[in-house]
Chain A
Amino acid sequence: DQQVKQNSPSLSVQEGRISILNCDYTNSMFDYFLWYKKYPAEGPTFLISISSIKDKNEDGRFTVFLNKSAKHLSLHIVPSQPGDSAVYFCAASESSGAGSYQLTFGKGTKLSVIP
């Protein structure tokens, strides 16, 4: 049973517009959520995270929104740039610390930003 779901395998967006990537989770014990970006032949790179005590976290062009009651989070990228084209993974953890914890990943959404 998948505990973290990214239901859109792919997404295409015009350069300059907003990209919205969605993620749903089922495990109510998750209290820390992360987004990773992955280019081919590279490891996942941390993008942004959010703790369950918040509903929004912003870092430059990237904003993550968390709706705990719906067990849903989303990543907004605005404005989208061609260099944002990559696979985006949503991940969740039961620990919000920077110490020792395992991540449960979704299957990823491939974002293509069209110039």
Chain B
Amino acid sequence: DSGVTQTPKHLITATGQRVTLRCSPRSGDLSVYWYQQSLDQGLQFLIQYYNGEERAKGNILERFSAQQFPDLHSELNLSSLELGDSALYFCASSGVKGYTFGSGTRLTVV
């Protein structure tokens, strides 16, 4: 158990819909990162939050947004979903104990 909790594990939704993925970081970690892994692709960095503030942005679409709450959990919101958004979405957290990943949410857009 990495200490990073992601829910739900699986999500199936239709094109055009909106979903929210949730991540609880490992205890003590202030940074949360979101990554996307599409078929045959490595993990692509989307966005990072540190103690509630956006710290860095990667290849995140405008249809996607995220936030980190005062209790440090984070949510990734994906809207106007397209077939190509089907992927594994990983959350990671980091702190003095290093960098660790959750087990991911598999999103399928049909």
A residues at B contact (CB < 8 Å): 4, 6, 34, 36, 41-46, 89, 91, 98-108
Q: How big is the B interface, by class?
A: 20 to 34
Q: Is A98's CB under 8 angstroms from B45's CB?
A: no
Please count the residue pairs between chain A and chain B whose beta carbons lie under 8 angstroms apart in the complex: 65
Q: Is A102's CB under 8 angstroms from B42's CB?
A: no
B55 at the A interface (CB under 8 A): yes
Which label, helix, strand, loop or mixed, suits the secondary structure of the B interface? strand
Chain A residues with CB under 8 Å of B2's CB are: 43, 45
Chain A residues with CB under 8 Å of B90's CB are: 43-44
B58 at the A interface (CB under 8 A): yes
A87 to chain B, nearest CB (A): 10
In the bound assembly, the distance between CA atoms of A102 and B30 in angstroms comes to 14
Q: Is A89's CB under 8 angstroms from B42's CB?
A: yes
A76 to chain B, nearest CB (A): 21
Known: A98-B99, A105-B35. 19 other contacts (CB 8 A): A34-B99, A36-B101, A42-B103, A42-B104, A44-B90, A45-B101, A89-B43, A98-B94, A98-B96, A99-B94, A99-B95, A99-B96, A100-B48, A102-B33, A103-B43, A104-B45, A105-B42, A107-B40, A108-B42
